[in-house]
Amino acid sequence: MDLKTGKKTTIDRSAMMFFWSPDGAKIALYSLVTDGKLPQLGYTSGKLAAPALQNNATALRIEVIDAATGDAITVADTVPTRDFLQFFQFFDQYSRAVTPWSPDSSSLVFITVNSVSQTVDVGVATLDKTINAFTLSRVAAGSVAFWSPQ
């Protein structure tokens, strides 16, 4: 609901969990899909490589929704770790304590199992200002990742 005008916007998506961005303009939605395209975030010659996709996998889809318009962009399909699933199944209890959003609302951190390199990767999706495009990059290995609120 727009607090200034009172206008309500219904976002009709099948979500299993969601997180508001710190600026209140976006929502990160997580849903289960069976036609996922998994990013393979890895290294080539010691440098970050562009993600290669693995198709038709059961995955956790991350979408970013513009709260004002309801427009959505799919950021990544991921395979979550067991550690992350602990937060997933009780997200309503954790949603105020942990966040995938960067403090400036420009990036999301996520975890995915990389079946090609047999690693568990921490990735960051950096959104452009229009929420129409993003870049993905691998930042580390790890099983759980969240942003600090400051």
Q: Give the CA distances from residue 109 to residues 22, 23, 78, 138, 139, in Å, rounded to whole numbers and listed in that order.
A: 14, 16, 11, 10, 9
Find out whether 36 and 28 touch, Cβ atoms under 8 Å.
no
Kindly tell me if the per-residue pLDDT of 6 is higher than 50. Answer: yes
Closest CA to 66 of 15, 136, 132, 7: 132
pLDDT at position 82 is: 79
Position of tokens 């009172």? 6
For 126, residues 6+ apart whose C-beta sits below 8 A from its C-beta are: 106, 107, 134, 135, 137
The stretch 57-68 carries a mean pLDDT of 83
At 12, list the tokens.
């009709």
The pTM of this model reads 0.76
pLDDT at position 101 is: 95
Mean pLDDT in the chain?
78
Q: How many Å apart are CA 5 and CA 112, to the nearest integer?
A: 40
